[in-house]
Amino acid sequence: MGRLYRAIPVSLLVFIVYIVFTGAITPYDIITGVLVSIVIGIITANIVISNPYKPFDPRRWAHTIVYTLYYFFVAEVKAHIDVIKRILSPKMPINPGIVKIPIRVNSDYAITAVANSITNTPGTVVVEIDENGKYFYVHWIDVKRIDEEGAYRSISYIFEKYASKVFD
Amino acid sequence: MGNTLQVVIIISLTLMVIGLAMVLAMGGFGFTVPPSSVRSLATIFLNTTFNLDTKYRYVSAMSPEAVTAIVWDYRGLDTLFETSVMFIAIVGALAISRGASEKLLKGFSKTRGGMSLIVKTITRIIIVMIASVGLSITLHGHLTPGGGFQGGATIAVAPMLLIITFSIYLFSKMITVSKAVTLRSIGLIGIALSAFIVLIIAILHGDLAYIFQNQPKLYSHYGLPSYAEVMVLGGTLLLFNTFETLAVAFGFTALFILFILPEEVVKDIIKGEE
């Protein structure tokens, strides 16, 4: 029974992708789309999703929107301006290095969201994740703090705050 | 040696850019190669692939996509043999490494193989979308460019990604070669049945039909429905495409597993039994 519940959000994703890729909503597309999404949803439900109730929680979606807006219009812009300054400055003020920062979110999706957020902002790249999923190793263009707590505060604290509300 | 190679690469890249620019420029100036007027052969196919006109009804494949109409209707027997070529290739691969994939399960351990958690999580979402796109290509094979083989090959990317990111040991827990080959055989049986389905329908009505018949012909008025209300179904083409997808996707899955077997696991088997 759990598998069927888990299949519902997966089927929705499949249906949306199917319709977007097909680019039409004639009756044929909708009928085949529903069939395809049911089949794929049931087959892959256990691989994709562990908790079927999370995708239907409106608070999580609200946090997702806030996170997206914050990420693309604040975090990204700040990081871009910072890196542009370093590139244009004739003295090239970089101090690169790899720091180890702890992970304080739990689910796989939250860890992935944080890691991709860090990588996608210019200046920081996640180069490796600890085997047990407890630490990131992050390459940082300007290492300000090398202790775990300080690096955590400057790099991933704000992403983890949102990611834990969305995914955990 | 290194310098010569670099010069060759630079010259060939330059020629490619000039060639592409020339084609684009010629298109822009109104020279088109081949000429834009439709040639007589194309006219014939455009008239016969999808035509409700009584003059063409008995030669029409009733599929708006001309290529699929040709591939699965006009020259269906050719396509059947093309499919069997890949099946024979898989038979060869299975014969060389028989029993090898079952040995993988013994080497399975709970240790986390494969790539990092980030790649695994992204893969879990991506494979679902790949399967969806593949099935869309398949099910619209008689409407837009695409079809069974293309859809199946697209879907086969999903097991490939799973093998790479989750390691072959974990993947062999999900699906084994024998299971994949079984599903592929179901697809092939489906293709064979689709070739005979109109004949079977005709015999049930006490009449005869052609093998690989799709739409009604002049001497045999049987055929699968090409229309349902407002939907174009394409008769047997839809069945052929669906079963071809099943066959190709799981055929590739079996081949990928066999290709990626670690040598130390299967060395004894591949060496043979002298």
Return the higher-pLDDT residue of B104 and A67.
Answer: A67
Lowest-pLDDT range of B174-183, B197-206, B258-267: B258-267
Q: What is the tens place of the pLDDT at every residue in B101-134?
A: 777 666 666 555 778 889 999 999 999 999 999 9
Please identify which residue in the block is written with the tokens 């069927």.
A4
Beta-bridge partner residues of A102: A135
Residue B210 has pLDDT above 90, yes or no: no
Chain A hits for B133, Cβ within 8 Å: 17-18, 21
Label residue A13 by pLDDT band (50, 70, 90). very high
Mean pLDDT across B201-221: 86
- B133 closest CB neighbour out of A17, A44, A48: A17
Q: Is the pLDDT of residue B224 over 80?
A: yes
SS3 A100: strand
Same domain, A45 and A86: no
Taking each helix axis from N to C terminus, what angle separates A157-167 and A108-120, rounded to the nearest 10 degrees? 140
Last residue of a domain, one of A11, A29, A54: A54
Between these two residues, B28 and B187, which has the higher pLDDT value? B187
In chain B, whose CA is at the least distance from the CA of A112?
B118
Place of tokens 């052609």: B210
pLDDT at B232: 82
Using pLDDT thresholds of 50, 70 and 90, give the confidence band for residue B52.
confident
Q: Do A18 and B124 touch (CB under 8 A)?
A: no
Enumerate the domain spans of chain B: 65-271
Q: Tell me how many domains chain A contains.
A: 2
For residue A11, name the pLDDT band (cuts at 50, 70, 90).
Answer: very high
Residue pair A98/A138 in contact (Cβ under 8 Å)? The answer is yes
Measured in whole angstroms, the distance separating CA B9 from the mean position of its chain's CA atoms is: 34
pLDDT grade, residue B32 (50/70/90)?
low
Residues A73 and A102 in one domain: yes
Residues A157 and A89 grouped into a single domain:
yes
Question: CA neighbours within 13 Å on the CB side: how many for A52?
Answer: 16
User: Between β-strands B231-232 and B227-228, what pairing exists: parallel, antiparallel or unpaired?
Assistant: antiparallel
A81 plus A20 within the same structural domain: no
Domain that holds residue A35: 2-54
pLDDT band at B1 (very low <50, low <70, confident <90, very high): low
B15 pLDDT exceeds 90? yes
Residues A73 and A8 in one domain: no
Residues of A in Cβ contact (< 8 Å) with B125: 13, 48
Distance CA A21, CA A36 (A): 13
State both tokens at B58: 């008995």
> B159 with B171: CB under 8 angstroms?
yes
**Residues in chain A within 8 Å Cβ distance of B233:** 28
Using a CB-CB cut-off of 8 Å, the residues of chain B touching A10 are 128
Cα–Cα–Cα angle for A153, A157, A162, nearest 5°? 165
Percent residues over pLDDT 70 in chain A: 99
A148/A83 same-domain check: yes
Q: Which of residues 24-43 of A touch B (CB under 8 A)?
A: 26-29, 31-33, 36-37, 40
Rounded to a whole number of angstroms, the CA Rg of chain B reads 24
- For B74, list phi and psi in degrees, rounded to 5: -65, -45
Q: Which positions ≥6 away from A115 have C-beta within 8 Å?
A: A126, A129, A136, B118
Is residue A20 less than 8 Å (CB to CB) from chain B? Answer: no
Both A130 and A161 in a single domain?
yes
Using alpha carbons, list the distances in angstroms from residue B123 to A104, B118, B120, B128, B178: 23, 9, 5, 9, 24
A99: pLDDT confidence band, cut at 50, 70 and 90? Answer: very high
Per-residue pLDDT for B96 more than 60? yes
Q: How many CB pairs under 8 A join A and B?
A: 74
Q: Per-residue confidence at B274, pLDDT binned at 50, 70, 90? A: low
Tell me the pLDDT tens digit for each residue of A109-139.
999 999 999 999 998 999 989 878 789 999 9
Predicted pLDDT of residue B272: 63
Mean pLDDT for the stretch of residues B198-208: 89
Query: Measured between alpha carbons, how far is A12 from A14 in angstroms, rounded to an integer?
Result: 5
Q: Please list, residue by residue across B144-182, b when 16 or more beta carbons sit within 10 angstroms of its beta carbon and e when fewer do.
A: eebbbbbbbbbbbbbbbbbbbbbbbbbbbeebbbeebbe
Task: Tell me: do A72 and A47 sit in the same domain.
Answer: no
A102 and A153 together in one domain? yes
CB contact A10 to B (< 8 Å): yes
B229 touches chain A (CB under 8 A): yes
| pLDDT tens figures, A80-91 | 999 999 999 998
Same domain, A38 and A99: no
Confidence of residue B27 (pLDDT cuts 50, 70, 90): confident
Residue type, B80: L
Which range has the worst mean pLDDT, B75-79, B139-143, B167-171? B167-171
Return the pLDDT at A98.
93
- B260's CB contacts (< 8 A; 6+ apart) are B163, B168
Q: Do A99 and A160 fall into the same domain?
A: yes
| Averaged pLDDT of chain A | 90
Check residues A104 and B103 and name the one with the higher pLDDT.
A104
Closest CA to B181 of B261, B251, B102: B251
A129 and A146 assigned to the same domain: yes
pLDDT confidence of residue B132: 94
Q: Summarize the confidence of residues B180-200 as an average pLDDT.
A: 91
Is pLDDT at B74 greater than 70 in this prediction? yes
Task: Identify whether the C-beta of residue B241 lies closer than 8 Å to the C-beta of residue B151.
Answer: yes
pLDDT value at position B43?
83
In this prediction, the answer to ipTM > 0.90 reads no
HEC per residue, chain B: CHHHHHHHHHHHHHHHHHHHHHHHHHHHCCCCCCCCCCCHHHHHHHHHHCCCCCCCCCCCCCCCCHHHHHHHHHCHHHHHHHHHHHHHHHHHHHHHCCCHHHHHHHCCCCCCCCCCHHHHHHHHHHHHHHHHHHHHHHHCCCCCCCCHHHHHHHHCHHHHHHHHHHHHHHHHHHCCHHHHHHHHHHHHHHHHHHHHHHHHHHHHCCCCCCCCCCCCECCECCCCCCEECCEECCCHHHHHHHHHHHHHHHHHHHHHHHHCCCHHHHHHHHHCCC
Which member of A27, A37, A44 has the closest CB to residue B127? A44
- Written as six digits, the tokens of B255 are 């081949």
Q: Are B48 and B60 in contact (CB under 8 A)?
A: yes
Contact residues, chain B, for A21 at CB < 8 Å: 132-133, 136
